[in-house]
Structure 1
């Protein structure tokens, strides 16, 4: 009996130690993934992997930008005309962005029409210059907020994947309306910016001055996108790694991957919305287009599929189709 009890204690201790080591290991992995995906200062990060070309689904993006003369003109315009603006978020964080004035004597140069343009993951407002330039040429004033953890807001906490940024977007819009109660506002975003626009569309407090929203290749939820990238970058399944990373994100960034859902927000949306996606997008899977579109409760909604376009390349792949569709949608609701 004594031997049996001693053996039981040893087995219990060994099992307990293995469980403890497993939990510690999972905790380490969870924190590593949060740093990898969300810490803009991390030495080993998704941003560095994307920049080195080790992430699939982004092929051709640098080449397309280099060959785009319009983008070069837009970049020069952005650098020459941008003015710094700031917004104090509800948590007291001061966030920075850029404002650019629209052209005079254009269709929307009445001084009350705005385009709020949101950039992508590990990007910055400058990346969206060609979109901003297009809207400014139409006469719109343009606001380009930088997301938390990006550009001049790099020290404003961990990257929020568009989720807290969507709540911040409500505040940026309130700033516009406070200065111009007659403002008519369009929301526009690509990739993470597209998610941000979709998430904001169903939030309480979205101003009635927002007349329409256009999202390009946004993801259904942060959880869904990280499932894709966990397999894409590491070749790993989501369980249990993403679950512990989710818990670490809640502790460190204040949100969970599952709660950060564009699909759930879209179920509360009422603003007219245009959904755009390239059918060769592997970074944010093309299948997410239909999920978002079907979830959207807006009575006025449209979708555009751009054949042959990879991630974030729809406007470069078929500019005539892209801008013809966007401008027609804007003309109906702005």
Structure 2
């Protein structure tokens, strides 16, 4: 085989890998390319059967008092949230949605009544490049964890220095709260709940390429990571939840469905193994991606309730009959 043919083959391979990496980023990283329906299909969860329940609970939720609130990110993006206030309560749960979702349709419609009945204020935030928040590029937790710190500061200024904060994230939001656990968080943050989190963008993208597209992830992920740094300001392997929890001091409850094909349950198991703070792992049998609450609602709420009782004070807790 001639040297020219070998070089041509290498160049052709490299061009193909760059093309795939570029396509991957365009489909996932850029705001207007992140499609909700495509994400639902990729998640593998049959959401149709839950639509009546979600619709009913959303109709109830939007009748509750709520306000739009805004902050500025460190890079000067206007970020949006929806605040559901609870009178005289010093407790608040900050809810972080998953990829391509938003505070409006919310991954927290179903569990919101549970939190309100427990006496919590609720703050549902739009991640950057989602919903009513500004931003062109999705942060996949790597950028969003710093935005979350700004939201925590906002909440403390709103409710006072004696407020107690619970963080609850799902999927990308779950990864975000875990990535934030490695930062120096205010003592007001009493607990973190993470549902079906991935470890890092690089690892979840690699899993998708292997299991859904049957494409070897490397060197595509390496190339995509370089491109991501240039476009969005972060590498796909820049922040890993499984590494950040080694520095965590805030108690963490991890939840994952064992039938999750989108974000493997093994990621939460790895995070649990690495976590240095008080921790618990709740694996829901036969639950797909972000399905755990709907699959085992009663047990899910019991696990969260136990976590709250362990790590937050009992003041202002009001349970409706």
What's the CA shift for 1:231? Answer: 2.2
Number of aligned pairs?
Answer: 307
Deviation, 1:111, is 2.1
Q: 1:188 and 1:59 mapped to 2: Cα distance?
A: 20
Distance 2:20 2:285 in 1: 38
Question: What residue number does 2:19 align with?
Answer: 28
The 5 Å alignment of 1:20-169 reads 22-42=13-33, 47-51=36-40, 53=41, 55=42, 57-63=43-49, 65-68=50-53, 71-80=54-63, 81-102=65-86, 110-125=88-103, 126-127=105-106, 128-153=108-133, 155-169=134-148
Aligned with 2:282 (options 293, 301, 304): 304
Unaligned ranges ≥5, structure 1: 1-7, 105-109
RMSD between aligned residues: 2.0
Distance 1:111 1:247, change over 3 A: same
Radius of gyration: which is bigger? 1
Cα–Cα, structure 1 residues 245 and 309, in superposed 2: closer, same or farther, change >3 Å?
same
TM-score (norm 2): 0.89
**Pair 1:254 & 2:233 matched:** yes
SS of the residue aligned with 1:41? helix
**Residues in 2 aligned to 1:317 and 1:60: alpha-carbon distance in whole angstroms:** 11
Cα deviation digits, residues 107-127 of structure 1 (max 9, x gap)? xxx421110011011111232
Alpha-carbon displacement from aligned partner over 1:19-73 (angstroms, at most 9, x marks no partner): 555544433322211111111223xx5645335x3x2x4231232x2242xx334
Q: What is the alpha-carbon distance in structure 1 between the residues aligned to residue 200 and residue 279 of structure 2? A: 20
Give CA-to-partner distance per residue, 1:59-116, whole Å, 9 cap, x none: 31232x2242xx33431233233310011111111111110113x6xxxxx4211100
The DSSP-based 3-state class of the residue aligned with 1:76 is helix
Q: Which segments of 5 or more consecutive residues in structure 2 lack a partner in the other structure?
A: 313-321
How many angstroms does 1:258 deviate by? 1.3
Structure-1-length-normalised TM-score: 0.86
Q: Are the equivalent residues in 1 in contact too, given 2:25–2:228 (CA < 8 A)?
A: yes
Structure 1: distance between partners of 2:61 and 2:234: 33
Of the three residues 129, 153, 157, the one matched with 1:178 is 157
Partner of 2:167: 187
Matched with 2:316 is: none
Say if 1:223 and 1:260, in contact at 8 Å, map to a contact too.
Answer: no
Equivalent position of 1:3 in the other structure: none
